[in-house]
Amino acid sequence: MPIYLLTKNKGKIILLACLIVLIALVSSIIIFLDNNNQNNVSPKNVAEDFGLKNYAKLKTDVNNTFTDSTVNKNPSAEKFYNQLSKAEDTSLSTTDKYKALVLGYTYLRQAYSETNAHALYALPQEYTNFVKINFPKNYKQTNFYEIPCQDKICEDEPQPSEILKIVDEINASSIPDVVKTTFARDLLNAGYISKNDPDYRSFNYYIVAGVLGGSGALTNAGLNTKLSQEVMDYIQKTYPKQYQEFPKK
């Protein structure tokens, strides 16, 4: 470029350079503020105590469960993690943190029920102990009820053949796949519950029988009454004492 043109445009060049620097500075500030406004929590790979006893260990254990692909891809597991991380948020009150942790426990239960990932099996007790120690004035045991075994590793007997037959009927039906998956999982989860807890196990089967009986998808397929009755027949044969106590239509 000729020197006279460079000199002539010197003011414009300086102005343009200043604008570029200003834009870069504003962008940096926005990124900084955004990064510090992510619920004021640390990244997943960071585990510190944040003034909370045993928090670093709990978060490390939680992070380790996400190495399981079924957990890592599960929406409920992600929601659980987000609620747990709110314990780090210095802008939240103790009460709000406790409420977030209670909600997180609900998502943890859902994640375990949906994935049957044994990696999640030990977390509920550790999580409950953490909340009890760090939020003693807020803690209520009813918010953190025990979560039973719901996976093949901790089950103490094989799934009943009668229940597996019902699962096969569900999978062979014309109902949507997502509904098949849900109903089959609910039946199998009941079968994972320890044989030493017949009251809880039979009650879960009873709940599933009710869900099957009231399902619109199964009703349209003409299977709701049949499958629901098959579950009830199994309860009556296997848990006669508990069966007598359940309300009947």
Question: How confident is the prediction for the chain on average, in pLDDT?
Answer: 86
pTM, full prediction: 0.77
Task: Report whether pLDDT(1) > 70.
Answer: no
- The pLDDT tens digits of the residues spanning 176-205 come to 999 999 999 999 999 999 999 999 999 999
Query: Rounded to 5 degrees, what angle do the CA atoms 26, 28, 29 make?
Result: 65
Greater confidence (8 vs 89) lies with 89
Residue 48: predicted pLDDT: 73
- The pLDDT tens digits of the residues spanning 134-156 come to 999 999 999 999 999 999 999 99
Mind giving me the DSSP string for 1-43? --HHHHHHTHHHHHHHHHHHHHHHHHHHHHHHHHHTTSTT---
**Separation between Cα atoms, residue 127 and residue 188, nearest integer Å:** 25
- Domain spans in the chain, listed from the N-terminal domain onward: 10-35, 55-143, 161-245
Grade residue 13 by pLDDT with cuts at 50, 70 and 90: very low
Q: How deeply is 27 buried, as exposed, middle or buried, from its count of CB atoms within 10 A (0-12, 13-18, 19+)?
A: exposed
Residue recorded with tokens 């000729």: 2
Task: Report whether pLDDT(25) > 80.
Answer: no
Within 8 A by CB and 6+ apart from 123, the residues are: 61, 62, 65, 108, 112
Residue 248: predicted pLDDT: 79
Question: Tokens at residue 78, please?
Answer: 């992600």
What are the CA-CA distances from residue 109 to residues 74, 143, 147, 187 (Å)? 12, 12, 7, 16
Residue recorded with tokens 């953490």: 130
Task: Report whether pLDDT(12) > 50.
Answer: no
